[in-house]
Structure 1
Amino acid sequence: MDWVALFFPLTVLLSRWIVVPAAEETYWTYTGLVGQSQWSTYFPECSGYSQSPIDVVTSQTKHDPTLSPLTPLGYSQHGNQPFSLYNNGHTVVIELPDWMGLRGLPWLYTAAQMHLHWGSGGPGHGGSEHTIDGESTDAELHLVHYNSDLYPNISTAMTKENGLAVLGILIETGPENNQAFDNILNYLGRVRHADQKVFIPAFNIEALLPGNMWRYYRYKGSLTTPPCDQTVLWTLFQERISISQAQLLKLETSLYSSREEEPDKMLLQDNYRSTLPPNNRVVLTSFSEGSLKDLSSGEVTAIVVGVMCGCVGLAVIIRFIVKTIRSTSSWDVLPSIRPTPMPRANMSEKQNEQKQDVALSLTSGAGGPKEEPLSSLKAEP
């Protein structure tokens, strides 16, 4: 009995020792034998309670006024050091220098890498991992950071609480070419096959970000790929960025998930995980509807331009009115009270009469002979 009791736990421990390394070396895929539905078999964390991505239901979000705007640190200071572009068989990864980071989170997070998720079939066929009110976009960009205040590197941080912070940016198709994305897309041909890596010129990472970085959704979740560690603080921006249809086509058709030596070439497409239930997690927002300070940069610009144009127009009208009044005489403005001009001849006669009256007054006032009445005169004898 003692041997049996000892043998059983040893068997369990031995089996776990064998299975775990096998799981870590398993080459997972998005579809097939080791597709999404089988991830939790080999990676137990993928069946956890706080998995990502999720569908953000805007009517169920909660505004958190304590959420501050995010500020990228060093994103535009790329220097002369080239970036590493890598096809890992699941996506294309750009490794980021450690002088880049994020401010506006509870800790300092240092940049590690960024990668993309996309679909197939062109615009309107989906490809993003997160959705908003059930609506997906054509692709999604993730910028991964690790908590450098608490952990020494990303390998350690990804398995620890509050270890990672990921920025999620939804990408849609528009009419114009996005020059910032050409810094990535133009070099995909050099890493067409899995495990290929190349150095590319450094560029301004901040140009990839949306203009409005203070309007976002925030929740706690996981990595969207195995091993699905639930250590990610997610920030999903509400504002989308746009690439052209030609750029989306290049992203969807340039890479293979198979290695160069493999005879069967497999295009790297539809590399996005389906949304998972929130499981009572509350998605917080940094903005409240109807607030002026929460408007997008385009909306704010439109309001400012509109106000300025209105002020300029009002000033022009006022100036025109004042100028018109100054250039018009008071008699022209009030013609009803303007006196009728008197002819020159009449004016001369009246002046003569006035002069005669004055002369008579002066004579009588000086003591001269007075005119006697006719009745006082008598005839001499």
Structure 2
Amino acid sequence: MHPASHRKPLKGRAAGGPVEAATGRQAVSPFARSLCFSLSLRVPLCPPRSLPSLLIPPSTVARVANMDSLAPFVLLLLAGLHWTAAEDTSWTYTGMLGQSEWSEHFPECGGSSQSPVDVVTTQTKYDPALTPLTPLGYSQHDNRPFALYNNGHTAVIELPDWMSLGGLPWLFSAVQMHLHWGSGGPSSGGSEHTINGQSAEAELHVVHYNSELYANASAAMTQRDGLAVLGILIGIGEETNAAFNNIINYLSRIRHANQKVLIPAFDVQSLLPKDLGRYFRYNGSLTTPPCHQSVIWTVFRERVQISKAQLLKMETVLYSSKARDPDRMLLQDNFRATQPLNHRPVFASFTAESGKELSSGEVTAIVIGIMCGCVGLAVVVRFIVKTVRSTSSWDVLTNNRPAPTHRSTPLSSPNASFPHKSFFKPLSASTRTLLLPLIPPIVIKVSSVCSGRRSGGPCDLWAGGRRRENTLTRACQF
């Protein structure tokens, strides 16, 4: 899908000589002239109107007179030459023909609807009409091998045309898929699209063309609604992604540019995120020359993950140079920088609330915050409850204490009894459980000393140097 550039005019022979004497006009049919001018070629059979006529031998005149009968053959021949020249046009991501120079050789690369872009989630517009995408036939590979080749810019996997994509205004048939990655350096990036300024380690593109309106991808790629591309961001995970091994394990067989190999077919849908209902949608372009602005982009919110070993192999196995080249050049950093939106809307298939996706660090911080909050709340509640219980216990012991009265019988007398029995009213088991930790130490001591009273043991308390017996008999009952 690499288009052609404008080929430089070929220099013709010197002008100025007689033409066919009988007519005084150069013998070039209208078809030949229009065909040559439409292809921007300047050859002896296609003289510019503003220049003197070229000298054409009589034998050539006779052949040109019959050119209309060979119109289809000539058209195919010249178009093939024109396309071959386009395929030979070289471009790179850096250097003399790098990204900053693309627009000089490929004018559409300087257009106002270029891709990729940075998706700012707070500026997207929710569109309820964006339904989950439906891959059709992605898992029905019919056991026919896929073609994997190195085109000098990326690794491309050709897809059968029975694979298609539903959920769009038209039916789009699959063409190919390819990868973009970085170089493994810190903050080097790798994905072409970014979300909120954050790039992923790599990105997978699955390319489709509008098979309802156009005959093939070549015809569709120049039309506004011709292509639909899925963008899948790839991150680093702990486990190996078995689905991506169907591609990565065979990269060593296409190490150099223009090398091609057949690989076993596999389920293409296994490469996609599990959630196909959350994505961003905008109109953009091809991310490589000729940058045709004909792509309906779908960038999934969920990332797929591969292991660090898989990413390293992707970044270090392929070369952008050919096998016969003396200098080998690693194929790295094959991603285009993000382009301005230029007021293009970016739609989201989900709302901001449902689409909020937290990073592992954010989740950890939230969990720790919740735990700290719970501990703090428990401490405060315990302090309040303890204070209330302590105050209530002291109120009971203080308010229910009997007023001093005249004692007619000495306390030391065996028959003496405590006059205020209500203070020692027996308490329930649950009340005793709650009050025991809150009773002052002296009362706890009394309870300890009196614990044997229930079985008939003595209950003694020393106070003011005077021994008092049997005065706390009822107190021992609680």
Shared fold by TM > 0.5? yes
The equivalent residue for 1:215 is 278
SS at match of 2:179: strand
Q: How do 1:1-381 residues align onto structure 2 when only pairs under 5 Å count?
A: 17=41, 25-121=88-184, 124-291=187-354
Instruction: Report if the CA contact (8 A) 1:55-1:275 is conserved.
Output: yes
Counterpart CA distance in 1 for 2:350 and 2:38 is 52
Counterpart CA distance in 1 for 2:149 and 2:218 is 18
SS at match of 1:162: coil
CA offsets, 1:240-264, max 9 Å, x none?
0000000000000010000000000
The one-letter code of the counterpart of 1:169 is I
Structure having greater relative contact order (Cα 8 Å, sep ≥ 6): 1
Counterpart CA distance in 2 for 1:179 and 1:114 is 17
Counterpart CA distance in 2 for 1:214 and 1:37 is 35
Shift of 1:125: 2.8
The one-letter code of the counterpart of 2:114 is Q
The equivalent residue for 2:399 is none
Counterpart CA distance in 1 for 2:187 and 2:261 is 31
The one-letter code of the counterpart of 1:79 is D
Shift of 1:124: 4.7
Shift of 1:25: 3.4
Counterpart CA distance in 2 for 1:249 and 1:190 is 16
Shift of 1:238: 0.2
Counterpart CA distance in 1 for 2:102 and 2:208 is 24
Counterpart CA distance in 1 for 2:130 and 2:244 is 29
Which shows bigger deviation, 31-40 or 115-124?
A: 115-124
Shift of 1:121: 1.8
The equivalent residue for 2:445 is none
- List runs of 5+ in structure 1 lacking aligned partners: 1-12, 297-381
Shift of 1:63: 0.3
The one-letter code of the counterpart of 1:95 is E
SS at match of 2:199: coil
Using a 3 Å threshold, how does the CA distance of structure 1 residues 97 and 133 change in structure 2: closer, same or farther? same
Counterpart CA distance in 2 for 1:250 and 1:277 is 32
SS at match of 1:202: coil
Counterpart CA distance in 1 for 2:135 and 2:92 is 32
Counterpart CA distance in 1 for 2:254 and 2:184 is 22
**Count of residues in Structure 1 that have an aligned counterpart in Structure 2:** 283
The equivalent residue for 1:344 is none
Counterpart CA distance in 1 for 2:253 and 2:129 is 44
Counterpart CA distance in 2 for 1:154 and 1:232 is 12
Shift of 1:288: 0.6
CA offsets, 1:170-192, max 9 Å, x none?
00111110000000000001000
Cα RMSD after superposing both structures: 2.1
Counterpart CA distance in 2 for 1:201 and 1:107 is 30
Counterpart CA distance in 2 for 1:206 and 1:27 is 33
Shift of 1:78: 1.2
CA offsets, 1:219-277, max 9 Å, x none?
00000000000000000000000000000000000100000000000000000000000
The equivalent residue for 2:28 is none
Using a 3 Å threshold, how does the CA distance of structure 1 residues 14 and 200 change in structure 2: closer, same or farther? closer
Instruction: Report if the CA contact (8 A) 1:23-1:42 is conserved.
Output: no
Shift of 1:290: 2.3
CA offsets, 1:132-177, max 9 Å, x none?
1111010000000000000011111101120000000000111110
Counterpart CA distance in 2 for 1:264 and 1:125 is 24
**Dislocated runs of 4+, deviation >4 Å:** 13-18, 20-24
Instruction: Report if the CA contact (8 A) 1:122-1:245 is conserved.
Output: no
The one-letter code of the counterpart of 1:58 is T
Counterpart CA distance in 1 for 2:192 and 2:145 is 29
Instruction: Report if the CA contact (8 A) 1:169-1:209 is conserved.
Output: yes
TM-score (normalizing by structure 1)? 0.71
SS at match of 2:198: coil
SS at match of 1:184: helix
Shift of 1:80: 1.3
Shift of 1:289: 2.2
